[in-house]
Structure 1
Amino acid sequence: MAEETPNQTTTPPPPQESVVQVEEVVVTDVPQPDKTTTTVPVERDSQPQPYEPEKKKPVEETVTLETHLSKPNNADHTNNIPEFIEESTKLSDLPENENKALQELKKLVQDALNNHHFSSKHDNKKPPQTTAADNKEEQQPQEVVTETKPDAAPAKTEEEHVETKKEEEKEEEEKEQVTETKEEEAAVDDDGAKTVEAIEETVVAVSSTVQPQAEEKASEPEATKEESSPPLPPEEASIWGIPLLADERSDVILLKFLRAREFKVKEAFTMLKNTIQWRKEFGMEELMEEKLGDELEKVVFMHGFDKEGHPVCYNIYEEFQNKELYKKTFSDEEKREKFLRWRIQFLEKSIRKLDFNPGGICTIVHVNDLKNSPGLAKWELRQATKHALQLLQDNYPEFVAKQVFINVPWWYLAVNRMISPFLTQRTKSKFVFAGPSKSTETLLRYIAPEQLPVKYGGLGKDGEFGNTDAVTEITVRPAAKHTVEFSVTENCLLSWELRVIGWEVSYGAEFVPSSEGSYTVIVQKARKVASSEEPVLCNSFKVGEPGKVVLTIDNTSSKKKKLLYRLKTKPSLSD
């Protein structure tokens, strides 16, 4: 379902620990299965589809899902591959060999534009060197006319030209004989000399007239050819709204294809050419204008940014548990094709909002929620996902900054054990996995609380506070009480919102005036907040005198808790 997304940190915990503070598993640390015969199609830099091995019992491993997904303590695990770090898109930062590869690819692209290779469906059937052929035509115009014009007219002209030359030679011989004869007769008769001179001038004039006419007839087909096929200007080709070779943004796009093919220039060029051809056949520009409905807006959606500025795409598999939605999306081939077009359209619109300038953010972070995922039980979903992943792999290189899998079920680890040997190190380094109890904690490592949706443990939602209102994070130790104070010096309306991940703690709020003669005002009576209650609490208090608002969090549990809060003030008119 997701790419490339499809493609784009902190260092993962050491593999030797069986229990870690942050629940994260990099695919590279999953040991390779012994004697595995099942082969699973894998997408480079795109989200692997969540499927389960057919009739295969769960792999036994030391994983406690109630608390975390731990890394297996395997003695064979000696290689710890660091998490993926994006390379620079600035030309000045490129190593010499990568810059050289980029320049070579740009030359191939320019040649293809000059020869209109991107606009042709069957480039492999055309002569690879059109320029050389044109030079041959200029050097040997008569031969080119005969070979490139198979009709009878040029051939007939050539024969006439040969016959004309033979007639000229005969006339020249006759002329010489007549001249010699007339010269002898000229000594006898003056009138005869005048006649010979007149005949000689006539023969020469006719001979000189026939030769230019023959040459003119021979050159007519070549002139006609030049007039009928004038040199065409270079074609224009664009991808994701960026014209190729028009500016520096094109270099950033070409780098994606080079990195996807490990800087093998010819392979990168082939991938680029195939991608442009696929986009034309798929009708990409027409697709961007299609109205495909909004039934799937809860399945895949964009929300906020990560801590490095990447836009974040959420893929929610649980939504396909809705039987009506599932049937409407995957029940037949036509519906699955519509789903594919919708998914590609969604991705295209997201990509065109990226910044392709050198140094800009041009990759996407994908969060894949596997909670209640249908898994392998849904054949139609599996087929649609497989098809989508193949298209993303072939036509959307290097658009994934990170793939974060949350609420990972036990069977997904087994799948990853099987597919790990088929993944490249680059792809593996982009994967992060978290079980149900550690999903929020893992997401908060990469996404700020104000950008993270409430559903996943953040404060990002529509309301009085926006995604730009910063959130403060505090860890409350077990069996400890923590207080937060907001000092106020003037009349205002003070608003705040807070949440404790998992709650099960006591919360209270009060206003304490600065003057000794004033009384403390209870804003929120202390009470224990259960985990089943509304995850985010919002309060406000109209301040009429200097003082402070004090929030109290009493963690009586044996586990540490994550406290998130933010506040804002508004001027208050005096009564």
Structure 2
Amino acid sequence: MEGVVSPEEPSQRSPLDSSSKQDTTNEVLKDSTDAEITKIRLMRAFVEARDPSSKEVDDLMIRRFLRARNLDVEKGSAMFLKYLNWKRSMIPNGYISPSEIAEDIAQEKLFVQGLDKKGRPIIVAFAAKHFQNKNGADGFKRYVAFALEKLCSRMPPGQEKFLSIADIEGWGYANTDLRGYLNALSILQDCYPERLGKMFIVHAPYLFMKIWKMIYPFIDDNTKKKIVFVENKKLKSTLLEEIEESQLPDIYGGQMPLVPIQDS
């Protein structure tokens, strides 16, 4: 019959027809409501019409940007399209070579290892090891992007978030880099939304709190809810609420040795 493709004939349709795409979408987004799935489809159609490269990203990424803007399709789309332009500029080859960020890597300030109880990768940042980049703000921005790309690549299947421990012990005026901190925050919130699951700030000295008061107004409300300052005397017990001892970094009384992020 004309127009009918028999089982033996090669189909001219996409490997995923509309019904199988629907099944795949529902499986990937099984923790989304029907209303959210509808908005994801609307946002995808909107961004694909404006930037064809949007077709290369999965529905989970679309959902993260949508959720970051409280399911507002227009705002989520604008945020996502801005991210695509940023990534083409910041990561034009699809990756950042360690040779491009050698100065920041040499400071050995970011480490990863282990998973928390929810299966989220753990990253530890040592603020006292950070110093302003002699090559300007762009070098540190590339380092932040490198770290987040590395971290996201370590996500187990089905996981979208990570847990962070920001260790401020030994931090002083020499480590103050307000511009760098705000740039890092902007990249996290604007380009990797809904990636941070929780952040523990530990060993924070009084001096640091002055800088924190300057940073705090720039943190969006969703991110603020994920940040916890931990008392020194409750450090291990608090971390163990989220991380098994076998996965807890050894410097906090656990069993997991830390690995520099560039070696992970």
TM-score, with normalisation over the residues of structure 2?
Answer: 0.76
Partner deviation per Cα, 1:471-506 (whole Å, 9 max, x = no partner): xxxxxxxxxxxxxxxxxxxxxxxxxxxxxxxxxxxx
Partner deviation per Cα, 1:235-261 (whole Å, 9 max, x = no partner): 4447xxxx23xxxxx111111000110
- The residue type paired with residue 104 of structure 1 is L
Partner deviation per Cα, 1:192-212 (whole Å, 9 max, x = no partner): xxxxxxxxxxxxxxxxxxxxx
- The residue type paired with residue 90 of structure 2 is F
The equivalent position to 2:68 in structure 1, one of 236, 260, 265, is 260
**Correspondence for 1:385:** 181
CA distance in 1, matches of 2:253, 2:153: 29
After superposition, the Cα gap between the structure-2 partners of 1:442 and 1:354, relative to the gap in structure 1 and judged at 3 Å, is same
CA distance in 2, matches of 1:361, 1:288: 23
Which structure dedicates a bigger proportion of its chain to helix?
2
Q: Number of aligned pairs?
A: 230
Is the 2:110–2:124 contact (alpha carbons within 8 Å) kept by the matching residues of 1? yes
CA distance in 1, matches of 2:218, 2:98: 37
CA distance in 1, matches of 2:205, 2:151: 29
The equivalent position to 1:296 in structure 2, one of 107, 132, 142, is 107
Deviation at 1:444, TM superposition (A): 1.5
**Correspondence for 1:96:** 34
Is the 2:96–2:142 contact (alpha carbons within 8 Å) kept by the matching residues of 1? no
Deviation at 1:283, TM superposition (A): 3.3
Q: How does 1:118-197 map to 2 (within 5 A)?
A: 118=51
Is the 1:300–1:316 contact (alpha carbons within 8 Å) kept by the matching residues of 2? yes
Larger RCO, structure (CA 8 Å, separation 6 or more): 1
**Correspondence for 1:451:** 247
CA distance in 1, matches of 2:64, 2:92: 20
TM-score, with normalisation over the residues of structure 1?
Answer: 0.37
Is the 2:155–2:161 contact (alpha carbons within 8 Å) kept by the matching residues of 1? yes
Deviation at 1:90, TM superposition (A): 4.6
CA distance in 1, matches of 2:138, 2:53: 30
CA distance in 2, matches of 1:335, 1:420: 23
Deviation at 1:101, TM superposition (A): 1.1
The equivalent position to 1:365 in structure 2, one of 163, 170, 174, is 163
The equivalent position to 2:257 in structure 1, one of 451, 461, 466, is 461
CA distance in 1, matches of 2:234, 2:206: 14
Is the 2:169–2:203 contact (alpha carbons within 8 Å) kept by the matching residues of 1? yes
After superposition, the Cα gap between the structure-2 partners of 1:288 and 1:425, relative to the gap in structure 1 and judged at 3 Å, is closer
Is the 1:261–1:267 contact (alpha carbons within 8 Å) kept by the matching residues of 2? yes
The equivalent position to 2:81 in structure 1, one of 265, 268, 273, is 273
Which structure has the bigger radius of gyration? 1
CA distance in 2, matches of 1:282, 1:418: 26
After superposition, the Cα gap between the structure-2 partners of 1:353 and 1:459, relative to the gap in structure 1 and judged at 3 Å, is closer
**Correspondence for 1:64:** none
Partner deviation per Cα, 1:284-324 (whole Å, 9 max, x = no partner): 42643452334133x0011111111100000011224xxxx
**Is 2:236 the partner of 1:440?**
yes
- The residue type paired with residue 363 of structure 1 is K
**Correspondence for 2:12:** none
Q: How does 1:110-121 map to 2 (within 5 A)?
A: 110-112=48-50, 118=51
CA distance in 2, matches of 1:422, 1:280: 25
Partner deviation per Cα, 1:362-401 (whole Å, 9 max, x = no partner): 1110100111222xx2486222222222222221111101
CA distance in 2, matches of 1:338, 1:416: 23
- The residue type paired with residue 106 of structure 2 is E
Is the 2:166–2:199 contact (alpha carbons within 8 Å) kept by the matching residues of 1? yes
Q: How does 1:36-115 map to 2 (within 5 A)?
A: 90-112=28-50
CA distance in 2, matches of 1:410, 1:352: 35
Is the 2:127–2:175 contact (alpha carbons within 8 Å) kept by the matching residues of 1? no
CA distance in 1, matches of 2:181, 2:220: 20
**Correspondence for 2:198:** 402
Q: Which runs of 5+ in 1 are unaligned?
A: 1-88, 113-117, 119-234, 245-249, 321-325, 463-575
- The residue type paired with residue 302 of structure 1 is V
Question: CA RMSD for the aligned pairs?
Answer: 2.8
**Is 2:145 the partner of 1:344?**
yes
Is the 2:47–2:54 contact (alpha carbons within 8 Å) kept by the matching residues of 1? no
Q: SS state of the match for residue 384, structure 1?
A: helix
Is the 1:287–1:341 contact (alpha carbons within 8 Å) kept by the matching residues of 2? no
Q: How does 1:319-338 map to 2 (within 5 A)?
A: 319-320=129-130, 326=131, 330=133, 332=134, 334-338=135-139
CA distance in 2, matches of 1:457, 1:391: 31
After superposition, the Cα gap between the structure-2 partners of 1:93 and 1:444, relative to the gap in structure 1 and judged at 3 Å, is closer
**Is 2:125 the partner of 1:315?**
yes
Partner deviation per Cα, 1:31-74 (whole Å, 9 max, x = no partner): xxxxxxxxxxxxxxxxxxxxxxxxxxxxxxxxxxxxxxxxxxxx
Deviation at 1:275, TM superposition (A): 0.6
Percent sequence identity over aligned pairs:
25
Is the 2:247–2:256 contact (alpha carbons within 8 Å) kept by the matching residues of 1? yes
Is the 1:409–1:435 contact (alpha carbons within 8 Å) kept by the matching residues of 2? no
